């Protein structure tokens, strides 16, 4: 990998922002939203910075949203077939998955998604403008959330080793730059990545006949076991969308359960399981909500929008529906599940829109790489360019950073 010299000339932010305003006086937060400026005091019990870096609390304060709540999302009220009471746990839902009929009754009893309202809410959350303190914090957080991905037929051991080196040290010139969350590759290349990153960065492998999911269960499970045996920390499986759309929900449920069992290791631990819906093929937001609940009941550790091979891939409204689902699932069961939008997230501006949505819809518990990821191949370079601009005042061209 070769890095080229930084550019010393100035230019506007990559995401289209104008040059930043002066830093507001200490104790005052200023956030421009749709042309308005919100002035609020910081919480008095929190410091603004630690060692020159924004604290999580201050950044979260700035990430709070001020857009009108014209769309009232599903707030965890379960259909009549679901258990009630405080966080009964997954065992309380055992009867839901005993047959296709009971699972269908449960999934189709979930409240419907207001399509117009969900899209309007997502669009409103996407209008936020974040500057200075919150942006610096968000950039590092977004880098730490990236699943740096290559899933091409032309992938070679050399290519994935180079990607692994980049995942470990995204900006070799700046040791303060954090590593990414994971490197995502095909299962046969897991060992090549693991040799570079060790345990410092997770290694994710796609499995179960990715990207179509159309194969026998024997093939899907062998695919999964091979990736785990090669050292995969995480498995990204795909559901059989044909079965799901045909209403064979129990088949999809059983396949997720079996894949999770195939993630088991000899020491009793298991690779984390991400379940990919391919939301661009699910046709409706109601189906996205149903797939989310089905996967979570089956034991998914993460739910993921897309393979990146179908358009549309990740979108803000689809991710909003999935964030509502994980929030409501935790409220109902006490179990927290992660979310991973993947495909089409290319710029810092895109990433920040998603972070604002996570904070607003699910809450700040999900603002952590353990619970939210970006599946991306080109996003990291843009985050690095923005970070360099904020830390040095100079804008590096895209050729400064190694290619994804």
Which tens digits make up the pLDDT trace of 153-210?
A: 999 999 999 999 999 999 999 999 999 999 999 999 999 999 999 999 999 999 999 9
The answer on pLDDT for 282 being more than 80 is: yes
Residue 288: band (very low, low, confident or very high) from pLDDT cuts 50, 70, 90:
very high
Taking CA 100 as the corner, what is the angle to CA 98 and CA 106, rounded to the nearest 5 degrees? 80
* Dihedral in degrees, nearest 10, Cα atoms 311, 314, 319, 322: 70
59, 133 Cβ separation under 8 angstroms: yes
Residues 41 and 172 in one domain: yes
More confident residue, 119 or 92: 119
Domain tally, the chain: 2
- Return the pLDDT at 189: 98
Angle between helices 132-144 and 348-357 (to 10 degrees): 90
Which tens digits make up the pLDDT trace of 49-58?
A: 444 455 565 5
The CA-atom distances, in angstroms, between 289 and each of 108, 214, 326 are: 10, 22, 10
Q: Which one of 296, 315, 341 terminates a domain? A: 341
- Residue 147 belongs to what domain range? 1-67+134-199+378-404
Taking CA 158 as the corner, what is the angle to CA 154 and CA 163, rounded to the nearest 5 degrees? 90
Residues 105 and 48 in one domain: no
In a domain, 383, yes or no: yes
The answer on pLDDT for 60 being more than 90 is: no
Residues 295 and 233 in one domain: yes
H-helix or E-strand containing 339? strand 338-340
Mean pLDDT of 270-297: 98
Q: Among 63-72, 187-196, 208-217, 257-266, where is mean pLDDT lowest?
A: 63-72
Residues acting as catalytic residues: 236, 304, 340
- Return the pLDDT at 83: 41
Average pLDDT, the chain: 83
Q: Enumerate the H helices of 71-216 as residue ranges.
A: 100-109, 115-125, 132-144, 157-168, 190-197
Q: Which tokens is 358 given?
A: 């996570």
Q: Which tokens is 327 given?
A: 């929030």
The answer on pLDDT for 259 being more than 50 is: yes
Q: Among 73-77, 85-89, 145-149, 236-240, where is mean pLDDT lowest?
A: 73-77
Mean pLDDT of 118-129: 90
Query: pTM of this prediction?
Result: 0.80
Q: Which one of 291, 317, 341 terminates a domain? A: 341
- Return the pLDDT at 155: 97
- Return the pLDDT at 396: 66
Q: Among 62-76, 110-124, 174-188, 381-395, where is mean pLDDT lowest?
A: 62-76
More confident residue, 100 or 43: 100
Residues 142 and 274 in one domain: no
Which tens digits make up the pLDDT trace of 359-378?
A: 999 999 999 999 999 999 89
Residues 282 and 251 in one domain: yes
- Return the pLDDT at 55: 56
The CA-atom distances, in angstroms, between 215 and each of 172, 257, 385 are: 42, 16, 41
More confident residue, 204 or 65: 204
CB atoms within 10 A of CB 36: 8
- Return the pLDDT at 61: 57
Residues 168 and 258 in one domain: no
Residues 256 and 284 in one domain: yes
In a domain, 348, yes or no: no
Q: Which tokens is 46 given?
A: 């929190």
Mean pLDDT of 10-23: 40
In a domain, 347, yes or no: no
In a domain, 372, yes or no: no
In a domain, 403, yes or no: yes
Residues 189 and 211 in one domain: no
Mean pLDDT of 52-71: 48
Q: Which one of 341, 357, 389 terminates a domain? A: 341
């Amino acid at each position: 990998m070769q890095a080229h010299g930084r550019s010393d000339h100035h230019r506007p932010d990559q995401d289209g922002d104008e040059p930043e305003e002066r830093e507001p006086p200490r104790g005052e937060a200023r956030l421009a939203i749709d042309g308005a400026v919100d002035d609020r005091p910081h919480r008095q019990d929190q410091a603004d910075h630690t060692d020159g870096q924004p604290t999580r609390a201050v950044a979260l304060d700035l990430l709070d949203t001020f857009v009108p709540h014209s769309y009232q999302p599903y707030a965890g009220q379960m259909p009549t077939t679901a258990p009630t009471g405080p966080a009964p746990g997954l065992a309380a839902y055992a009867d839901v998955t005993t047959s296709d009929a009971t699972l269908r009754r449960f999934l189709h009893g979930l409240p419907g998604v207001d399509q117009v309202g969900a899209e309007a809410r997502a669009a409103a959350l996407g209008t936020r403008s974040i500057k200075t303190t919150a942006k610096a914090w968000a950039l590092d957080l977004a880098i730490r959330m990236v699943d740096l991905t290559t899933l091409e037929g032309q992938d070679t051991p050399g290519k994935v080793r180079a990607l692994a080196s980049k995942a470990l040290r995204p900006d070799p010139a700046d040791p303060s730059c954090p590593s990414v969350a994971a490197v995502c590759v095909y299962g046969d290349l897991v060992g090549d990545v693991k040799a570079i990153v060790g345990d410092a960065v997770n290694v994710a492998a796609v499995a179960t006949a990715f990207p179509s999911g159309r194969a026998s269960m024997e093939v899907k499970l062998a695919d999964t076991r091979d990736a785990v045996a090669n050292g995969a920390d995480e498995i990204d499986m795909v559901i059989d969308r044909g079965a799901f759309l045909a209403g064979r929900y129990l088949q999809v449920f059983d396949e997720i359960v079996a894949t999770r069992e195939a993630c088991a290791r000899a020491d009793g631990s298991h690779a984390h399981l991400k379940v990919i819906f391919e939301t661009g093929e699910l046709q409706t937001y109601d189906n996205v909500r149903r797939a989310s609940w089905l996967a979570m009941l089956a034991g998914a550790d993460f739910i993921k929008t897309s393979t990146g091979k179908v358009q549309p891939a990740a979108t803000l409204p689809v991710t909003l529906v999935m964030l509502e689902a994980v929030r409501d699932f935790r409220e109902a069961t006490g179990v927290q599940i992660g979310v991973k939008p993947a495909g089409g997230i290319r710029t810092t501006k895109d990433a920040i829109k998603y972070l604002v949505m996570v904070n607003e819809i699910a809450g700040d518990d999900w603002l952590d790489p353990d619970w939210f990821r970006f599946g991306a191949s080109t996003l990291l370079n843009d985050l690095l360019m923005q970070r360099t601009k904020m830390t040095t005042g100079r804008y590096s061209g895209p050729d400064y950073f190694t290619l994804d």
